[in-house]
Structure 1
Amino acid sequence: MPVAVYLCASISIVFTTALFGLLINNTINSKDFYNRLTNMNFIRNEAINKYLGVKALRLLIVNTFWSKLNPSLQIPNTRNKEQLLKIRAEMTNAEISHLIGFLITLLLMLTSYATSWHTGIILPLLISNIAFHLHPALLQQYNKRRLDKLLKML
């Protein structure tokens, strides 16, 4: 199959797994173990975040139409602790949804490889998965750390 077909298919798969991530996250967010997921921090080092492009992704999202996709994640000018905690919970929700989507996509890639079924999609799917799931999850963690600093000042 042509690379363009695999690229389009991989983007479609990633967006579909994002929907599954949202559905699964909404199912598990009332469970007891969910609170342990709210403080995940894969990369604490700011230099590594910069190297991986997390800060560049933040600038891209803030300055393009992507910022309109989830307006509940925007920090308002008037800040109170309750409002910021609500935004932090929304960030956690988005982060965990992206991570679930990332894991589902990763399982699909591993299945494709293990069964030698459409192996040409693995690389485009890996790139799409990192761009649309892993990087946004890392960005949410970065933003939560920034928000936590702000909350400590209040």
Structure 2
Amino acid sequence: MILKHLSFSISIVFISFIVGMILTVLIRKTNFYNSILSNLNFVKSDKTNKIIGVGIVKWIVKNTFFKFLNQKLKFERKINISEVKNIRNEMTKAEIDHLFAFIFVLIIVIYELFYQKYLLAFIMLIVNIVMNLFPSLLQQQNKRRIDKLIFKFENKDKKIKH
């Protein structure tokens, strides 16, 4: 029974990835996306991220087949400010994809709770947190690091101009 719920939950979460991508494409050109969603930061502390397990997800993404999924999120040897900003935009897109996917599965979890399928809802929620919420938090953490890099680039350019 648990394996059946687990496999169903994993299937739903993979479907949610597609739903998240579609929703992101639909709103990507809006002010809501550019001004609010692109600057989300749920957990501002790297220490808190570490405590809740985002570091484990980071290790999994770096050391398993997941590293091949989004090749746009890698730096080349030499980096410049436009490449860094482009990677930040791709990270934002991936983060929002996962957030929409998380919300999609959360709606299904609520539906299952309404019909008193507590075990299925619990398993689906756990799988959703691990496969959608944590990757989104990881992207937010990486965006904070990239924002520091962008700040350094921009300050370096200002010093050169003066």
Question: TM-score, normalized by length of structure 2?
Answer: 0.90
Partner of 2:160: none
Give CA deviations for 1:30-82 in whole Å, capped at 9, x if unaligned. Answer: 11211121010000111101101112221221122211110101122211011
Distance 1:153 1:63 in 2: 29
Partner of 2:67: 67
Distance 2:119 2:41 in 1: 33
Q: For structure 2, which runs of at least 5 residues remain unmatched after alignment? A: 154-162
Partner of 1:113: 113
Q: Secondary structure at the match of 1:38?
A: helix
- Describe how 1:22-101 pairs up with structure 2 within 5 A: 22-35=21-34, 36-101=36-101
- Please say which of residues 49-58 and 130-139 is displaced more in the overlay: 49-58
Distance 1:20 1:76 in 2: 30
Q: For structure 1, which runs of at least 5 residues remain unmatched after alignment? A: none
Distance 1:45 1:120 in 2: 32
Q: Secondary structure at the match of 2:30?
A: coil
Distance 1:141 1:92 in 2: 8
Q: Are 1:10 and 2:9 an aligned pair? A: yes
Larger Rg, first or second structure (1 or 2): 2
Distance 1:134 1:67 in 2: 17
Q: Are 1:127 and 2:90 an aligned pair? A: no
**Counterpart amino acid of 1:129?**
N
Partner of 1:139: 138
Question: TM-score, normalized by length of structure 1?
Answer: 0.94
Higher helix share: 2
Distance 1:129 1:57 in 2: 13
CA RMSD of aligned residues (A): 1.1
Q: Secondary structure at the match of 1:33?
A: helix
**Counterpart amino acid of 2:56?**
A
Runs of 4+ in 1 over 6 A off after TM superposition: none
